[in-house]
Structure 1
Amino acid sequence: MTILLRTVKFGHKSGVLPIPSMLSVAQAENIILNQVHPFNPVHDSEILDLLDAIGRILAKPVTSGLDFPHWDNSAMDGYAVRFEDVQFCSPEQPVTLEIVEEIPAGYQPQRRLQAGEAARILTGSVMPAGADTVVIQEETQREGSTVTILAAPKPGAFVRQRGSFYQSGAPLLPVGLRLQAPEIAVLAAAQCAQVRVYRQPRVAILSTGNELVRIDQPLQPGQIVDSNQYALAALVAQTGAIPIRMGVVPDEPEALKQAMAKAIATADIVLSSGGVSVGDYDYVETILESLGGDIHIRAIAVKPGKPLTVATFGHQEPGVRSQESGARDGEARGQGAPATIQAPILNSRSKIYFGLPGNPVSALVTFWRFVQPALRKLSGLPQSDWGPTFLAAKSRTELRSDGKRESYLWGRFYLTNGQYEFDLASGSHSSGNLINLAGTNGLAVLPVGQTQIAAGETVQVMVIR
């Protein structure tokens, strides 16, 4: 990588800093993800009650000692029968059976069906011994204690066999799965009252700049509200992490150094916005080096978001399989429940510092493209869920770029008649124009070297999650 030099003032001293050549987006993404090591599934996890675990990520796979369904049961309201008694019946040659039992939901059948017998059964009810098929009530005619079967069913019709959904001892839910309503329902059905989940990543957020003020301060000439603090906190929370807002830090080297050191000590990931370009008051990179950080990225060929600094601090040594994890299996069980959690392997990780650009659109785009995948990997999600999702869409308008950097144009995509379409946000596409970013759900991507996509042509759109 070619390195140029620039002079920078730091406190009362002058020094020389490198002006780096730009990495491609793919190179930067690869470097960042290689620096992220997922949470340790023992030391970076916790046991939570089931409803407190909504939105959290499983740190251990779950199995159950129950079959699903627990027993053979009816999928419809109708009559439980022996297939051999009704296999040849038809409207012209119906078969009449004696009803020997009524089986509502929650009732344990008391009779074994014999030849010529049937049992009235409701959806979800236990199949009686001797029965192997259900005839739906629409194909029957009942008179008193007998029922006439008007059409021959298929063998085993409308019977949900024990273990046909899930068999005891098989994997139930895998490690790395985010627990939403369906997963919570599965765990409840398995009587798993508590689960081990990864802790939420802690993300410190600070903004640099003498021009920034808090949201509740009156604006003076030349000042702007620190909107990045709020945008990044929202993005961090939406990704499932805990934002730690550390406020505005002025462009003063000593104040910045103290704030950055505190942020690094406090969090798993640090996000600062501003101070990473080549201006006289851009000190972030110098301070990171003075604090012992290893700088991996200084600039990326992306628009918006070129000045992005990425550094790491320290690491934890890889561990071995936990000796206590087997004893902890019971922590994830409900009262008398057979669900268990299997023991994991530990991984190493390091703290990561992202020095984001100060312009608001640049800060958001670089978070979506580079920070969010890192957070998702750190949090314990599987590799398939780390990176951004791209889809092909027809552009409703002409899209333009200078072709020098991979460009991201914000707007909205829609599904119209089975095809995605992208609508570019109206107004200026300046990295300082936060206003027309509202409502954005996708970023149209123009690769390096491509300066135009005509209206009606296909463009790759990065989905904002």
Structure 2
Amino acid sequence: MLTAQEAESLILQLTQPLDPKDDRETVDLSAAADRILAAPVSGTQDFPHWDNSAMDGYAVRYGDVAQGSTENPVTLDIVDEIPAGSTPKKTIQVGQAARIFTGSMLPPGADTIVMQEDTQREGDWVKILTSPKPQAFVRHRGAYYQAGQPLLQAGIRLSGADIAVLATAQCLQVPVYRSPNVAILSTGNELVSPGQPLQPGQIVDSNQAALAALVARTGAKPICLGIVPDQPEILKAKMAEAIASADLVLSSGGVSVGDYDYVDRILAELGAEIHVRSVAVKPGKPLTVATFPKANSNRPVLYFGLPGNPVSSLVSFWRFVQPALRKLSGLRDGWEPAIVQSKTLQDLRSDGKRESYVWGQVRLTKGEFSFEIAGGSQSSGNLINLAQTTGLAILPIGQTAIAAGESVSLLLVNGLG
């Protein structure tokens, strides 16, 4: 049985990212948010595009105002007014100034801005009541970016700020990685879909809906293949279909040691190389990780056989699948689980035999994380108190308790990690 760290390392080694050429598509700028950039982007224009003012005030020649003060103000002739978006009409000569606004082009001849608060206007004249620094409040052309230089690097998830940069560079068509295809199936004779009437002994399949939502949140494309009964031939056909159609496969159930747990056996029959069969974690000990060669690609298809218990399935996704999906998607870095240090507000306990995860809510107050355990039973079958989970407190192997007020490692989930 592997430790969580050993399993994580092995899974990330097995995960090969999408190819930046073969797995690339071009999307409109309006559709590029949260996509992974597949190629570096460069701009064709300097930024700022031209010298401009960082303040409302007056564009002047520094030599004219170097000695200005409240006691001995310098008086200049206002020869132009330059609203934002317009082109200067005059060249500033000795003894002249132009009224200027934030973002407006600097007129020829001027090299310094005096902000409005340090002036006094009288008709077509302005008194300069201070001695500014040379080139004060001037944003020079190309000061922030020079045309042709790398603007954004490949392998980043495009945020709102990145979209602003692309818009400024007038990059209307954006090269991004395609969304990975993730096939999802649930196994078990006892399962029914959420829309079916529930008969005695049956269980609603919550795993497929939950996993599809989590997959979509990573930017991948869930392909839901439904519920498959514990019948080897039917299961084998559906697993083969999933493997052929996806970059990564998630099945839940059928990976333990019961009489109806067929997944590992069928994976072997289909030609899989099985790398992980169980992990020393709680919940989520039964975990199968396998690979299949992918036609016309050096990147294998990853297969994750997750536990059937709802909490175990989701914890396994957060701990092991989500990092693999991040790497698969083309992200350059930052695949690993987001683990931070926090203070627990209640006592935490485990049997110490496996790395144990306790779920609950994380708060960030004045720069410090705190963790509050979810009320009710911390059972792998209790899906109800998993609602609104934002973090998993981690109790290492060999540690049976962490007292309230002490530090604990937290795996951030559901948008926090």
C-alpha distance in 1 between matches for 2:130 and 2:362: 51
Select which of 293, 318, 323 maps to 1:368.
318
What is residue 78 of structure 1 aligned with on the other side?
57
CA–CA separation in structure 1 for the residues paired with 2:97 and 2:331: 51
2:48 match: 69
Q: How far has the Cα of 1:238 moved from its partner?
A: 0.3
Q: Check if 1:285 corresponds to 2:239.
A: no
Q: How many residue pairs get matched?
A: 414
- The superposition leaves residues 274-318 of structure 1 with CA deviations (integer Å, 9 ceiling, x where unpaired) of 000010100000000000000000000011100000000004677
Counterpart-to-counterpart distance in 1, 2:296 and 2:259: 39
Amino acid at match of 1:97: L
Q: Residue 414 of structure 1 aligns with which residue?
A: 363
- The aligned residue for residue 303 of structure 2 is 353
Distance (Å, rounded) in 2 between the aligned partners of 1:205 and 1:417: 40
Q: Does 1:428 align with 2:377?
A: yes
**The one of 189, 196, 203 aligned to 1:217:** 196
Partner of 2:164: 185
Q: Equivalent of 1:133, from 112, 119, 123?
A: 112
Q: How far 1:418 moved relative to its partner? A: 3.1
Answering whether residue 186 of structure 2 is matched by residue 207 of structure 1, we say: yes
Identity in percent = 65
Cα shift at 1:151: 1.5
Output one character per residue of 1:259-286: Cα deviation in whole Å (capped at 9) or x when no partner: 1001101111000000000101000000
TM-score scaled by length of structure 1:
0.88
Distance (Å, rounded) in 1 between the aligned partners of 2:62 and 2:376:
70
Alignment match of 2:150 (pick from 168, 171, 183): 171
User: Helix, strand or coil for the counterpart of 2:286?
Assistant: coil
Mapped partners of 1:267, 1:418: distance in 2: 41
Of residues 4, 9, 22 in structure 2, which corresponds to 1:43?
22
Instruction: Provide the rounded CA distance (Å) in 1 between the counterparts of 2:245 and 2:82.
Output: 61
Cα offset for 1:86?
1.2
Which residue does the alignment assign to 2:282?
303
Quote the Cα distance in structure 2 between the aligned partners of 1:295 and 1:369.
19
Q: Distance in 2 between matches of 1:131 and 1:391?
A: 52
Structure 2 counterpart of 1:201, one-letter code: P
**Separation in 2 of the partners of 1:229 and 1:415?**
31
Please give the TM-score of this superposition, normalised by the length of structure 2: 0.97
Cα drift, residue 403 of structure 1:
0.8
Greater mean alpha carbon deviation, residues 452-461 or residues 307-316 = 307-316
| Matched AA of 2:341 | A
User: What is the CA–CA distance in structure 2 between the aligned matches of 1:178 and 1:38, rounded to whole Å?
Assistant: 14
Distance 1:167 1:280 in 2: 66
Q: Distance in 1 between matches of 2:295 and 2:162?
A: 32
Aligned partners of 1:425, 1:79: CA distance in 2, in Å?
Answer: 61
1:449 — aligned with what?
398
Look up the equivalent residue of 1:290 and give its one-letter code: E
What does 1:243-254 correspond to in 2, within 5 Å?
243-254=222-233
Q: Deviation at 1:153?
A: 1.5
What is the distance in 2 between the residues matched to 1:409 and 1:153?
A: 60
5+ residue gaps in structure 2?
Answer: none
Q: Which residue of 2 aligns with 1:336?
A: none
Structure 1: gaps spanning 5 or more residues: 1-21, 319-347
1:54 is displaced (CA, Å) by 2.1
Name the SS of the counterpart of 1:65 in structure 2: coil
Task: Please show how residues 93-242 of structure 1 align to structure 2 within 5 Å.
Answer: 93-242=72-221
- In 1, Cα distance between equivalents of 2:300 and 2:93: 69
Q: CA deviation at 1:224?
A: 1.1
Runs of 4+ in 1 over 4 A off after TM superposition: 315-318
1:13-32 superposed matches below 5 A: 22-32=1-11
Please state how far the C-alpha of 1:129 moved relative to its aligned partner. Answer: 1.1
Q: Which amino acid aligns with 1:443?
A: L
CA shift digits 1:390-446 (9 cap, x unpaired):
111111000111111111111111122332111111110001101111111111111
RMSD of aligned C-alpha atoms? 1.1
- Pairing 1:267–2:216 present: no
Question: Could you tell me which of 232, 236, 242 is aligned with 1:257?
Answer: 236
Q: Which residue of 2 aligns with 1:8?
A: none
Aligned residue for 1:440?
Answer: 389
**Which residue, out of 380, 390, 394, partners 2:330?**
380
- Once residues 154 and 392 of structure 1 are traced to their aligned partners in structure 2, the CA distance between those partners, rounded to angstroms, is 47
Q: What SS class does the counterpart of residue 101 from structure 1 fall into?
A: strand
Separation (CA, whole Å) in 2 of partners of 1:101 and 1:145? 10
Q: Distance in 2 between matches of 1:133 and 1:45?
A: 47
Match of 1:458 in 2: 407
Find the aligned partners of 1:46 and 1:418 in 2 and give their Cα distance: 39
- 3-state secondary structure, aligned to 1:410: strand
Q: Residues of 2 paired with 1:236 and 1:123: CA distance?
A: 45
What's the CA shift for 1:180? Answer: 2.4
Q: What SS does structure 2 have at the residue aligned with 1:308?
A: strand
Q: 1:226 to 1:57 in 2, by over 3 A?
A: same
Quote the Cα distance in structure 1 between the aligned partners of 2:408 and 2:66: 58
- CA displacement at 1:374 relative to structure 2: 0.6
2:404 alignment partner AA: A
Please give the secondary structure, in 1, of the residue aligned with 2:356: strand
Q: Deviations over 1:324-343 (max 9, x none)?
A: xxxxxxxxxxxxxxxxxxxx
Q: Secondary structure at the match of 1:298?
A: strand
Cα distance in 1 for residues equivalent to 2:216 and 2:152: 24
> Alpha-carbon deviations, 1:240-273, whole Å to 9, x = none?
0000011100111111101100110111100000
